[in-house]
Amino acid sequence: MLNQRIDSVKARCLEAVSAAIDSRQLNDVKVRFLGKNGEFTALLKSLKDVPPAEKPAAGKLLNEVRVMLEGAFADAETSLRLAEKAARVERETLDVTLSRYDGKQGALHPLTLVKNEIVDIFLGMGYSVVDGPEVEYAYYNFEALNIPEDHPARDVIDTFYITDKILLRTQTSAAQVHTMETLKPPIRVISPGKVYRPDDDATHSPMFQQIEGLVIDEHITLADLKGTLDEFAKRFFSSDTKTRLRPSHFPFTEPSVEVDLSCPMCHGEGCRLCKGTGWLELLGAGIVNPAVLEMSGIDSKKYSGFAFGMGVERATMVKYGIPDMRLLFDNDVRYLRQFR
């Protein structure tokens, strides 16, 4: 039965690779079959259910097919990139007679514009900016944030590990832990920076930017969090923007919430951007888990706090109605010129 499933997935994958007409389509096929939730990845995960006597043969077959599929993707990617380059060279021309400077000026990238705007808003609300290393210890990225060793977020398919104890940070919350260890409450900081996760599709990137906020003081409640995010949404989008909190779960906050805002395009009426709901998900937040405070040396009986985190790319896509994150990284000047 497993062999039949392997043959079926292999045949469909090779057929999809052959049918890909450009690099982006090929990448979507790769995510579909070899991504962390891909069809072939699911077969690899199912190996644990194979009877012990059959595991060696099944494992060998899966490995052979994986190597073959990865080779097919590599060959197709090389071929498509060469074809795209040839087409671009054919399409683009350079008039070497032009010598007069046309006076065009550069501009900040939309991600930089949005990041600066968010930072300025929170600076105006009394926050300080803190930074941390992008190559981080697993302790600060996970343990100190109440994420145990058996948590799915720590799996090798979700994290870029350098060694067992060192990794590329997956969240800027690690900088908040450093802050709690070195500063005494009251604390009010934001930590912008790059983070890294093995995701790559229309709404995810292996490298992206986060801005996370942390407030620690006496008598901090969920109402303080809601008021802060309401004020931020009104300053960042428009004065009529509304926010709502939905229950969620994060190891480092309790209670935890997902924060939605009324769609800035249709103002809550329902449109293509918000898929008719009138709401868009923007960030995660919650009251800091007392265990996190205690691990950082803060008395959780005296102090409480809230934390929130948002992706700069996500905020940019929501603010400007951008459907595909990859447009922000293509660096097509014709596209970026719109944000000048």
> What are the per-10-residue average pLDDT scores of the chain (340 residues)?
80 87 87 85 81 81 85 88 87 72 75 94 96 93 89 80 92 93 94 88 79 95 95 91 92 93 80 80 93 94 95 88 82 81
Whole-angstrom Cα distance, residue 88 to residue 91? 5
| Residue reference for tokens 């990865």 | 70
Position 99 scores a pLDDT of 66
Q: What is the pLDDT of residue 106?
A: 73
Sign of CA dihedral 119, 120, 123, 129: positive
Contacts of 25 by beta carbon, 8 Å cutoff, 6+ apart: none
- The torsion angles phi and psi of 255, rounded to 5 degrees, stand at -75, 165
Instruction: Say if residue 40 is exposed, middle or buried (CB neighbours under 10 Å; 0-12, 13-18, 19+).
Output: buried
pLDDT at 102: 65
